[in-house]
Copies of this chain bind each other. A is one copy, B any other.
Amino acid sequence: MTQTAGKSRDRISRRQVDKFAERRAQLAASALQTLSELGYARTSLREIAQNSEFSHGVLHYYFRDKVELITYCVRQYKAECVTRYDQIIVTAGSAEELKQGFAAAMADTLREEATMHRLWYDLRNQSLFEESFREDVLDIDQSLERMIWRVVSHFAELVGSPPVLSPPVAYALFDGLFQQALLRYLTGRDTAADDLRKGVEHLLGQLVVDA
């Protein structure tokens, strides 16, 4: 009796928690959509609510304040972002295949997720001014660094020579390449994605000795 009651309560409670979490995720998705369109500086809670199917008051039912909402958004962004390239690493059989696959994946990301990535750079920069998101941003940045390093080190393995630089430097180089490509892509240069692909291929080849 107590068990079933307990189970019942737990099930309900969990269901409610799940629904609560689901709605949080749903609202965060609307927020990410709005942020990626307007940028951090011009995004208001009312604008976010208008991009969802709810009114602006509901945001404070699911999030304590704006900082918690955006922090939640940043974390949600990370979840889908970091694992993107891991598929390529495991499926690549040769160094050449990995190189071309990775370069093509970055170019595709540029083409399909440009606005999300300009948001990422926007938020990363915000963290240099406000301390609120800093921890989460640094966490994502490290994840990206590790992801890049998995590519580089696996490529080095396939080639049979060690990488010639450290994980932070490798990440910085690819990130610089991507960011510059993003700038060009969003300002209308239609060769940006393909230039990025070539640049990434070239760079990866240079990162191991005798490649």
**Residues on A facing B (Cβ under 8 Å):** 38-42, 118, 121-122, 124-126, 128-130, 134, 138, 141, 164-165, 168-169, 171-177, 179-183, 186-187, 195, 199, 202-203, 206
**A42, A122, A182 pick with most chain B CB within 10 angstroms:** A122
In contact, B183 and A124 (Cβ under 8 angstroms): yes
- Nearest opposing residue in chain B for A185, CB measure: B128
Given A164-B206, A173-B177, decide whether A183 and B118 contact each other with a Cβ distance below 8 A. no
Q: A187 — which chain B residues lie within 8 A by C-beta?
A: 134, 138
The answer to whether A128 and B182 touch across the interface, beta carbons within 8 angstroms, is: yes
- A128 B124 Cβ-Cβ under 8 A: no
B138 touches A129 (CB 8 A): no
What are the residues of chain B within 8 A of A203 when measuring CB–CB? 169, 173
- Which 10 A-B pairs give the minimum distances between C-beta atoms? A176-B176, A39-B129, A41-B41, A172-B180, A172-B176, A118-B128, A172-B177, A175-B176, A173-B173, A169-B199
Question: Could you list some 20 contacts between A and B, CB below 8 A?
Answer: A39-B128, A39-B129, A41-B126, A42-B129, A118-B128, A118-B129, A138-B183, A141-B183, A164-B206, A165-B199, A168-B180, A168-B195, A172-B177, A172-B180, A173-B176, A173-B203, A174-B176, A175-B176, A176-B177, A176-B179
Q: Is there contact, CB below 8 Å, between A180 and B186?
A: no
- Is A171 a contact partner of B164 (Cβ separation < 8 A)? no
CA distance A143 to B141 in the complex (A): 28
- Which of the listed residues A38, A129, A174 has the most CB atoms from chain B within 10 Å of its own CB? A129
Cross-chain contact B126 with A39 (CB below 8 angstroms): yes
